[in-house]
């Protein structure tokens, strides 16, 4: 559970940096999405990789 709280804190911190401008927020939204996938235990569709995220 500690890791989930840490991931949620990172998501919350990144969310506060969003400006509302789609182009300037693109990198932040990507980081938030990747953290949410880790938090929810989701991996990309059609992925042959068994670990969460990008396969690293």
What one-character DSSP code corresponds to residue 54?
S
pLDDT in tens, 15-35: 999 999 999 999 999 999 999
Find out whether 11 and 32 touch, Cβ atoms under 8 Å: yes
Q: Calculate the dihedral angle through the C-alpha atoms of 55, 10, 27, 34, rounding to the nearest 10 degrees.
A: 30
- pLDDT value of position 52: 53
Q: How confident is the model at residue 42 (pLDDT cuts 50, 70, 90)?
A: confident
Q: Model pTM?
A: 0.72
- Average pLDDT of the chain, as a whole number: 84
């Amino acid at each position: 559970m500690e890791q989930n709280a840490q991931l949620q804190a990172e998501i919350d911190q990144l969310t506060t940096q969003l400006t509302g401008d789609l182009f300037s927020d693109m990198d932040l939204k990507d980081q938030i999405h990747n953290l949410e996938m880790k938090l929810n235990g989701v991996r990309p569709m059609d992925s042959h990789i068994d670990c969460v995220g990008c396969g690293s």
